[in-house]
Amino acid sequence: MRVFGEHDARTLEQLGTVAQRAEKVALMADGHPGYVMPIGGVAAYRNQVSVVGVGFDIACGNAALKTDLTLESLGFTPEEQQQTLGRIADAIQATISFGVGRKNRADDAPVDHPLFESPAWDALHPRYRQGLREKARTQLGTVGSGNHYVDVFADEEGVLWVGVHFGSRGLGHTVASGFLALSQGKGWSDRAPEREVLLDLETPLGHDYWQLMRLAGEYAYAGREWVVRKVAALLGGREVDLVHNHHNFAWEEEHDGEQLIVVRKGATPAFPGQRGFIGGSMGDNAVIVRGADIADDPEGAELQRSGLFSTVHGAGRVMSRTAAMGRINRRTGEVMSPGLVTPQMMDGWVREKQVVLRGGGLDEAPQVYRRLPDVLAAQGKTIEVEHTLRPLVVVMAGANEFDPYKD
């Protein structure tokens, strides 16, 4: 068991419980409690996959697109640049669907993507297949709410990047919920408790889940790539580079000479040379990283091996959503108990960083997250930072918008 960084007792307890059933486990430095398996957790199994390990937002991940534009292209003075960034933020908010706007409003959404003709859909009962496929069509390229975002960044040379974080939306949530129910002897549409369920891939149930999980992964990739390219077009830029990765998914991989199913829940694959995009918070830098090539460094190589060639997916929460926002009556808006973060605290941080923010709630304020440099440092020699990305524009769902597929 490899643990990077320091964690609270509940997170470590969840990891220990997962370790009782897995062959190998690791915990990244951004870890915090999740459903059964901690966020930031990695677990390897023999020919089995964990439904709650992959999670409800199957294939949630990050994508970052490097453009051919620079900060100077937005204006030559800081005032001109901020005015342009404000217009860009408004255009993103008007074009991309966030939160309760769970249908893609754009007329060029990729609704005819080949994934909709994949044979994996046959794993669904005909009673549910067409409805879920149509829901998926309408949601492809929507971002959702919570900690999901569209950002515009500048790297250390002033080059503009577009970054996004979201997953497979209602498709992944429905697949996860359905197989969680079926594995507990319930019906596809029944509500089932969040319990550890390990599906053997040689059984019909495990085989079907694996096919639909992979379909949700293809779906999430298509959605994220459409969004970053759409925003790059809004900027008037062209694609120069694309870094893309899941962090809620399962892969077939070889570790210590054995083929294993590796589940990463809020953790980024980071084999030597493999690149990843890792976000911070609405008021912090993000990074492009690469798995370090350290085969000639026994200490570093052992860290990579025992960490199952994984790294963080973000900065990691240090405060729950309720702790940050307080308790609010959703019907009346009455504050039942105050939170630890005030609007003044969040706005002050974002203003100081000169970030143009649209949407976002107190539960996503920078104060509720660790600092990304700290968690990266805790990962030791396992990764190298290629680029540091400073946020210019952050667009998220509004503070009070409800979205059942955000996690």
Beta-strand relationship, 383-395 and 356-358: parallel
Count other C-beta atoms under 10 Å from residue 50's C-beta. Answer: 23
Task: Flag whether 43 is in a domain.
Answer: yes
User: What CATH number should be reported for the domain holding residue 233?
Assistant: 3.90.1860.10
Per-residue pLDDT at 403 exceeds 80: no
User: For tokens 């950002």, what's the residue?
Assistant: 151
The structural domain count of the chain equals 1
Domain membership of residue 27 as a residue range: 2-395
Task: Flag whether 406 is in a domain.
Answer: no
CA 376: distance to chain centroid?
17
Task: Flag whether 341 is in a domain.
Answer: yes
Dihedral (CA of 290, 291, 292, 293) sign? negative
User: For tokens 């994934």, what's the residue?
Assistant: 115
pLDDT of residue 404: 54
- Distances in Å between the Cα of 166 and the Cα atoms of 2, 18, 238 are 27, 25, 22
Per-residue pLDDT at 241 exceeds 80: yes
Confidence of residue 295 (pLDDT cuts 50, 70, 90): confident
pLDDT tens readout for residues 122-156:
999 999 999 999 999 999 999 988 899 999 999 99
123-159: burial string, b at 16+ Cβ within 10 Å, e else: bbeeeeeeebbebbbbbbbbbbbbbbbbbbbbbeeeb
How close are the terminal C-alpha atoms of the chain, in Å?
26
Confidence of residue 239 (pLDDT cuts 50, 70, 90): very high
Query: Which pTM value belongs to this model?
Result: 0.94
Looking at per-residue pLDDT, the higher value among 402 and 93 belongs to 93
pLDDT tens readout for residues 150-195:
999 999 999 999 999 999 999 999 999 999 999 999 999 999 999 9
Task: Flag whether 236 is in a domain.
Answer: yes
pLDDT tens readout for residues 211-229:
999 999 999 999 999 999 9
Task: Flag whether 205 is in a domain.
Answer: yes
Instruction: Annotate the chain with three-state secondary structure.
Output: CEECCCCCHHHHHHHHHHHCCCCEEEEEEEEECCCCCCEEEEEEECCEEEHHHHCCCCCCEEEEEEEEEEHHHHCCCHHHHHHHHHHHHHHHHHHCCECCCCCCCCCCCCCCCHHHHCHHHHHCCHHHHHHHHHHHHHHCCCCECCCCEEEEEECCCCEEEEEEEECCHHHHHHHHHHHHHHCCCCCCCCCCCCCCCEEECCCHHHHHHHHHHHHHHHHHHHHHHHHHHHHHHHHCCCEEEEEEEECEEEEEEEECCEEEEEEEECEEECCECCEEEECCCCCCCEEEEEECCCCCCHHHHHHHHHCCCEEECCCCECCCHHHHHEEECCCCCCEEEECCCCHHHHHHHHHHCCCEEECCCHHHCHHHECCHHHHHHHCHHHEEEEEEEEEEEEECCCCCCCCCCCC
pLDDT of residue 406: 47
Segment 4-14 mean pLDDT: 97
pLDDT of residue 330: 67
By the 8 A CB rule, do 160 and 153 touch?
Answer: yes
Task: Take residue 5 and report the two structure tokens written for it.
Answer: 């960084």
pLDDT of residue 400: 61
Task: Flag whether 19 is in a domain.
Answer: yes
Confidence of residue 407 (pLDDT cuts 50, 70, 90): very low
Per-residue pLDDT at 106 exceeds 90: no
Segment 331-343 mean pLDDT: 83
Confidence of residue 327 (pLDDT cuts 50, 70, 90): confident
Nearest Cα residue to 233 out of 244, 221, 225:
225
Task: Flag whether 380 is in a domain.
Answer: yes
Residue 353 has φ and ψ, to the nearest 5°, of -80, -5
pLDDT of residue 102: 59
Average pLDDT, the chain: 93
pLDDT of residue 187: 95
pLDDT of residue 333: 66
pLDDT of residue 144: 85
